[in-house]
Copies of this chain bind each other. A is one copy, B any other.
Amino acid sequence: MTSERIQREQAVAPFFIGVDVGGTNIKIGVVDDNGNSIARTSIPTEEECGAEAAMQRSQVAIAALLSESQLTFDDVAAVGLGTPGSMDIPQGLILEPPNMPSWRYFPLRDCLGELCGKPVGFANDANAAAYGEYWVGSGRQFNSMVMFTLGTGVGGGIILDGVSLDGTHSFGSELGHIIVDSSLEARLCVWGGGQGQLEAYASAPAVAARASDLLASGHMSSLSGRIAKGEELTSLMLFEEAEQGDELAHEVIIETARLLGVGIVSVVHAVDPEAIILGGAMNFGGTATATGRMFLDRVREEFQARAYHVVRDSVTIDYAILGGHAGYIGAAGIGRTMYQRIDQ
Q: What residues make up the interface of A, taking CB atoms closer than 8 Å to B?
A: 85-86, 95, 143-144, 156, 158, 160, 165-183, 193-197, 258-259, 262, 265-267, 269-274, 306-311, 314
Contacts and interface: CB of A to CB of B under 8 A. Distances in A.
A13 to B, nearest CB: 32
A141 to B, nearest CB: 13
Copies of this chain per assembly: 2
Given A195-B306, A308-B194, A271 B178 contact: no
Contact of A169 (B262, B265, B272): B272
Given A158-B270, A179-B262, 8 more contacts: A85-B310, A95-B310, A171-B311, A172-B272, A173-B272, A174-B269, A177-B266, A177-B308
A198 to B, nearest CB: 9
Contact of A314 (B85, B166, B169, B267): B169
Contacts of A195: 306
Contacts of A95: 310
A171 B266 contact: no
Contact of A165 (B167, B168, B271, B306): B271
Given A169-B314, A171-B311, A314-B169, A179 B306 contact: yes
A155 B309 CA distance: 16
Nearest to A180: B182
A101 to B, nearest CB: 16
B180 A272 contact: no
A266 to B, nearest CB: 4
B171 A143 contact: no
Contact of A172 (B176, B270, B306): B270
A76 to B, nearest CB: 30
Contact of A194 (B165, B272, B306, B311): B306
Contacts of A272: 165-174
A314 B95 CA distance: 16
Nearest to A269: B177
A50 to B, nearest CB: 23
Contacts of A175: 269-270
Contacts of A314: 168-169
A259 B248 CA distance: 32
B169 A143 contact: no
